[in-house]
Structure 1
């Protein structure tokens, strides 16, 4: 019989895989399922608290994180949605980092995020400026969107949202926005391209 620790590890590993490739698990439905299971099998146990926390942070509505993200970013926003689930996972120590920034690197990302997002950048310039991310959401195919997160074990994740149009409009994804911390909407900093690509809302 599996121990409690083995069950916890299993779901945490599943959550980490799902956060990185959300399209492989059905998008937000899969993320919701996995985070709910991790919360249930860990010491927190309160399966309502995480949804309340995301709602209070302005990152979730009655239809999920998608209810916020799709008002701000183009297409279905699957990778951007996953970044919110990654935020909560990181806060509780469940997110496995591919690269852990030292204090100097982390401070530099935080200090430069706003100014960096004041101009447009292709994906290569994000990597050149900040290096490989602590967590990459989405694949490496330049035809599709991805999200880069930079952090250390203790601080919030600084995110950079990259997009390549509905039919691979660019040679490589371009930066639409960056953010660090909560509340979700107020922390977003759009690039000029990000402002141009914001969805047109119909009421």
Structure 2
């Protein structure tokens, strides 16, 4: 007979898999169900508190978080979408952290975020500057997007949004870059859209996103 804690950990592990590889778990709908399951086994009767938190942070639309990030990032924005769910999971103690920064390195990273995003960087630059992430959303194939998160024992996750893909309506242009290029950084869930700090390359893509709506 499984204990309550074992059942909870089973569902939390599933949630972590969905956060890290959202495309393999059905995208946002998969995350939707994973979070409902974890809320049910850990806080029975608490309701959909994760959705309320995302709504309060301005990270929710009529089609979920995806509707917000698609105005900010090229492609389907699945990894960027999952980072908002990861923020809430981290607040609840559900997110599995692969590496925890010490307080000094974390404070330095947060202090450098805006200045770092003032110039363009590739994924190798981010890893060279800050080391292996605390959590990676997406795979390591350089032809695809990924999101790298860094966190200490306390404080919100610092995110770096890296992207690779093709030009809109030009699938033969894939991949555009030899490795993912940094489009934005972010720290803190609320207010969601205003928390993004765009690089020059990210500002170009954001202008295109806004121009297409």
- Asked whether the two chains share a fold, i.e. TM above 0.5, the reply is yes
Whether the aligned pair in 2 keeps the contact of 1:71 and 1:201 (CA below 8 Å) is: no
2:181 is the counterpart of 1:174? yes
Matched, 1:161 2:161: yes
- Shift of the alpha carbon at 1:67? 1.2
- Identify the residue that residue 204 of structure 2 maps to in structure 1: 196
CA distance in 2, matches of 1:202, 1:161: 21
- TM (norm. structure 1) is 0.96
Partner of 1:137: 137
Residue 47 of structure 1 deviates from its aligned partner by 2.6
Count of aligned positions: 203
- Give 5+ residue unaligned stretches, structure 1: none
CA contact (8 A) 2:184 2:198 kept: yes
Structure 1 stretches of 4+ with a deviation exceeding 3 A read 200-203
Cα pair 1:144 1:173 within 8 Å, conserved: yes
CA drift at 1:44: 6.4
C-alpha separation between the residues in 2 aligned to 1:202 and 1:122? 26
2:194 is aligned with 1:186:
yes
- Distance in 2, Cα, partners of 1:29 & 1:42: 20
Cα shift at 1:148? 0.2
Q: Which runs of no fewer than 5 residues in structure 2 stay unpaired?
A: 167-173
- Partners of 2:199 and 2:79 lie apart in 1 by 18
Q: Distance in 2 between matches of 1:36 and 1:74?
A: 28
SS in 2 for 1:63: coil
1:90-169 maps to which residues of 2 (within 5 A)?
90-166=90-166, 167-169=174-176
Deviations for 1:30-63, whole angstroms, at most 9, x for unmatched residues? Answer: 1111011111111364232211110010111121
